[in-house]
Homo-oligomer: A and B are copies of this chain.
Amino acid sequence: MTSKDLRITDESTTLVDRVEEKLLDYFRENKLMPGDSLPNEVELAKALGVARTVLREALSRLKMMGLVKSRTKVGMTLAEPDILGGMKRVMDPRIMSKNHLLDILNLRVIIEIGMSPFVFMNKTEKDIEELEQIVDRERVLRDNQLSVEEESKFHFKLYEMTGNDTIIQLNQIFAPVFGYIKDHFSKILDDYTKTTPDQQRPSHKDLVNILKDGTADQFQKAMRKHLELYFHLLHKEYQKGDG
């Protein structure tokens, strides 16, 4: 047993927590749909047997997630939640554990590789043109690297081509994490780019060309290669945490 297992969880469930649960149960059991209206606060509080303030603290949480909307006089209605609403607010690399950061980086790499078949499927003339413009504007810095802005602009366009709003949002939410990682693991990343021949690392330009004239499979492999340095980083840093 490690010291981690000894810590007191102290999950002293508060009344607000339970009310929040109850509300969600209530929505599900009554099969409420977006647009359906809820009882007013006073009634709800009475039905739940709690003070209005407690009810409102629970409702406040659901409002943050977009599940509940309210307007004076009109009352409260259910709505389709913004599942990323909470994440958007609290994503801050500064306060995240190293392992958590690596998890997110890993997830990003996974998404970029996994989405490449869809990017290839959805590509249009216009997309290719835009990508070419982005690539043409890129200015190479030291060690064949790009600025963070240029780097992310290119990848953002690829995300856009998935046509998947959730994924696009996810990329935006994760963005600060990569900036942070590039800063804090720059040594490992630099070492890798210096010791790996450029030919083994497809540039953005190469990717566009393959997307344009190659096959879906070639594109995915190239993306995989393009992201290889993160494989390297993940492999090296996850190891450390285990020890």
Measured CB to CB, the residues of A under 8 A from B are 10, 12, 16, 20, 24, 27-28, 31-34, 53, 56-58, 60-62, 64-67, 71, 78, 80-81, 83-87, 89-92, 94-97, 99-100, 103-104, 106-107, 109-115, 117-118, 121, 162-167, 170, 217, 220-221, 224, 231, 235, 238
A175 to B220, CA, bound (A): 27
CB–CB A60/B100 < 8 A: no
CB–CB A81/B53 < 8 A: no
A-B pairs with lowest CB-CB distance, top 4: A86-B86, A114-B114, A110-B114, A81-B90
Chain B residues contacting A28 (CB-CB under 8 Å) are: 92, 94
A53 to B110, CA, bound (A): 43
Q: With CB as the reference atom, state the residue of chain B lying closest to A62.
A: B90
Q: With CB as the reference atom, state the residue of chain B lying closest to A34.
A: B95
**A122 to nearest B CB, angstroms?**
10
**A82 to nearest B CB, angstroms?**
8
Chain B residues contacting A92 (CB-CB under 8 Å) are: 27-28, 81
A1 to B224, CA, bound (A): 40
A83 to B78, CA, bound (A): 23
How many protomers of this protein does the assembly include?
2
Q: Given A110-B111, A110-B114, does the pair A83, B94 have CB atoms closer than 8 Å?
A: no
Q: With CB as the reference atom, state the residue of chain B lying closest to A166.
A: B103
CB–CB B24/A89 < 8 A: yes
Chain B residues contacting A84 (CB-CB under 8 Å) are: 87
Q: Given A57-B56, A117-B224, A166-B103, does the pair A20, B80 have CB atoms closer than 8 Å?
A: no
Most buried by B among A56, A113, A163: A113
CB–CB A64/B80 < 8 A: no
A-B contact pairs, 19 of them (CB 8 A): A12-B71, A16-B60, A24-B89, A58-B60, A60-B61, A61-B89, A65-B90, A67-B90, A81-B92, A84-B87, A86-B86, A99-B165, A100-B166, A104-B166, A107-B164, A110-B115, A112-B114, A113-B113, A121-B235
